[in-house]
């Protein structure tokens, strides 16, 4: 015969467990596994980015970084233009180098810089030219000057392009 305590435990379990389940699942409402891309978008063509900023040759590094990031993400297969279901067109709009920290002893000597690249992204269906998403994103990185500035700036470019590529891939794969 069940005791009074065991009935109380069963009662509490029947009432509290569903309430706790509802309370803790609130953060998951609307979350889905997989991609939020439209049906049929399984592959992508990535042409060389268009460079409209004042930094020469940056489009090569940025395009390479984006291809690597799409490969790492794995949501879309990278294919040639003729077989792709979608295309991402990226235009590099602005390159910026700004001082963020000065040498303590010499107030006019820059010690740390932030390098940033702003780009516009147009993600569209390849066959119909339907625009699926348009965004502007900025990738950045920081570096400390330990030699001449042009060399340090050039060495920081891959990290900046990798950060930009992350936002490009997010802007495409997390389509809304």
What confidence tens digit (pLDDT) does each residue in 43-57 have? 999 999 999 998 999
pLDDT recorded at residue 147: 80
Residue 30 is predicted with a pLDDT of 46
Segment 102-131 mean pLDDT: 87
Give pLDDT, residue 85. 96
Mean pLDDT of the chain: 84
Could you tell me which residues come within 8 angstroms of residue 114 by beta carbon, excluding any fewer than 6 positions away?
Answer: 96, 97, 98, 100, 140, 141, 142
Residue 22 confidence (pLDDT): 46
Beta strands in the chain (DSSP E): 43-45, 50-51, 77-78, 86-102, 110-125, 131-144
What's the pLDDT score for residue 102?
78
pTM above 0.75, yes or no: yes
Give the pairing of strands 77-78 and 86-102: unpaired
Q: Round to whole Å and give the CA distance between 166 and 162.
A: 6
């Amino acid at each position: 015969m069940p005791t009074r305590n065991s009935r109380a435990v069963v009662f509490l379990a029947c009432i509290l467990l569903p309430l706790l389940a509802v309370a803790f699942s609130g953060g998951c409402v609307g979350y889905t596994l997989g991609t939020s891309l439209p049906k049929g978008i399984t592959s992508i063509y990535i042409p060389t980015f268009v460079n409209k900023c004042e930094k020469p040759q940056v489009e090569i590094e940025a395009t390479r970084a984006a291809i690597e990031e799409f490969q790492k993400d794995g949501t879309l297969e990278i294919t040639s233009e003729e077989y792709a279901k979608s295309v991402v067109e990226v235009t590099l709009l602005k390159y910026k180098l700004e001082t963020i920290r000065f040498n303590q002893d010499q107030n006019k000597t820059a010690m740390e810089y932030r390098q940033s690249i702003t780009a516009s992204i147009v993600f569209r269906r390849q066959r119909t030219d339907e625009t699926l998403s348009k965004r502007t994103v900025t990738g950045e990185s920081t570096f400390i000057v330990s030699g001449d500035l042009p060399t340090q700036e050039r060495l920081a470019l891959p990290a900046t392009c990798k950060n930009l590529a992350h936002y490009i891939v997010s802007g495409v794969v997390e389509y809304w």
